[in-house]
Chain A
């Protein structure tokens, strides 16, 4: 949940910049943010360890300052979900932003409204459905996150075990009935999410 909130906030900002601003390296930024979508989750997880691990590039500063590390806490699980689901949000939202008629934005400018006001009053309402679809998709993706989470958060019962990881443990230890229940639950839920996302994204076209 928390990761999805961040995904929505960051995703909207990043995709607005990607959709509206021309700058050098724009496609590079897009690729960087999209990479987690295609990279094996273990590779993404590995990068996160390199960055945020106790001896990582950012993590070491944090550890020196506070004696605390994000690794193997639920924050790490949220971070992993965030990084992995962000691309879905950015892709969907960027497409929604880019489908808005440029003239509408120009019209708002000539009526004396700043870029920020225009964003709030014209761009966001018109891209609303795309944004909701993106949020649903990335939430579904975040729930299903397994590989990167396992690498940075581990599998500590009652603390960092997400649903997919629990299923993995159950299957490993042969507790089939419980695993079946969770698997079916997960499948139905994901299908519902996709259904919802489709309904929203269809209407923006």
Chain B
């Protein structure tokens, strides 16, 4: 069970070289913008091709440059929620969610959509267009759409960065519920330290395209593995460093 990821991609301007594994838990990819977190998700989902690497989910290999396996994004079965909540503007909330289901069997689809609308509290706006609903609602639709096809794993790219604080807390709880109900690996990309700290079972700290340290939030933030990580945290998150020094 779980995900295994090893990726290397050199774009000329930027080198990404990361490797990690996870079970059915929440792994937070944490680091600054431009440290390669989103790129990791895109490479995993097959929207970009790495130079070399290996991606497998529950033992199914999606990408392996050694054996030449490169499964199309359509068949990778990842639920992917994009950074800027990309809903299809020409479809209603309902149709957006339904679109995540087209590849499955015909019977029972209506019930599944209904179930998702209930779980994500979207019944009242099911016939509205994305332009008519709020940011938090959009985010819930994105999650519902990504989850309705019962993906093997959920990839969340800065899902809450555009939301205000109250909504963020609500959404974090929602993700925790998703984790319980769906029991799948959830990869969460964020540069918000509070989010990383409160939600992660495991954190992978991204620094400039490399992983500086992997571990539980406690391990990362209180016992940095090397002076480099310590220095990075102190430099970028001073409030945390003070706490640590006391």
Contact = CB atoms under 8 A, between A and B. Distances in A.
Contacts of B42: 106
B74 A109 contact: yes
B73 interface: yes
A107 B86 contact: yes
Interface of B: 42, 45-47, 72-80, 82-84, 86, 88-90, 99-100, 102-103, 145-146, 149
B89 A112 contact: no
B82 A114 contact: no
B84 A103 contact: yes
Interface stretch (A76-84, A118-126, A142-150): A118-126
A114 B102 CA distance: 11
B102 A104 contact: no
15 contacts: A103-B82, A103-B86, A104-B88, A106-B47, A106-B82, A107-B80, A108-B99, A109-B47, A110-B45, A110-B47, A111-B99, A112-B100, A113-B102, A126-B88, A126-B90
A121 B75 CA distance: 18
Contacts of B72: 109
Contacts of A113: 74, 99, 102-103
Chain A residues touching B, range: 10 to 19
Contacts of A107: 80, 82, 86, 88
Q: Is the interface of A mostly helix, strand, loop or mixed?
A: helix
A113 B102 CA distance: 8
A31 interface: no
Nearest to B81: A107
Contact of A109 (B73, B83, B89, B100): B73
Pairs of residues from A and B, 10 with the lowest C-beta to C-beta distance, nearest first: A112-B103, A110-B80, A109-B73, A103-B86, A125-B90, A111-B100, A106-B47, A107-B86, A112-B74, A103-B82
Contacts of B146: 110-111
A111 B86 contact: no
A111 B145 contact: yes
Given A106-B47, A106-B82, A112-B102, A126 B89 contact: yes
A64 B80 CA distance: 58
